[in-house]
Amino acid sequence: MAASHGQMKCKLYPSAFSGEVVFQVDTTIGKSYEGVAPKHYVQPSTQPTKDGVNGQIKVRVLGNGANEARVSVPDGQILTVSADKVHET
């Protein structure tokens, strides 16, 4: 299966830099992952707050099974998350 583009549900927080946001998502191994993404990867263009807002970031979907999805996030990491957090575009 070739990788496709998609979006992943996450929490969004402000970054120290105006052109990016911090995103947080829970992985299937029970750990939280935080990364940084350029603002143009955020859908919709929600203004993050220090308490976090629900949003989505653009990802590459490497695999999407019944319960888990493997995605490549904007900072280059590959994560395995619950499949219900990801939808392909």
pLDDT digits (tens, 9 = 90+) for 8-59: 999 999 999 999 999 999 999 999 999 999 999 997 666 888 999 999 999 9
Residue 74 sits in a domain whose CATH number is 2.30.30
Residue 74 is part of which domain span?
A: 4-88
pLDDT at 1 over 90: no
- Mention every residue, 6+ apart, whose C-beta is less than 8 A from residue 74: 35, 36, 37, 38, 41, 57, 58, 59
| Count of domains forming the chain | 1
Q: What are 21's two structure tokens? A: 């946001």
pTM exceeds 0.75: yes
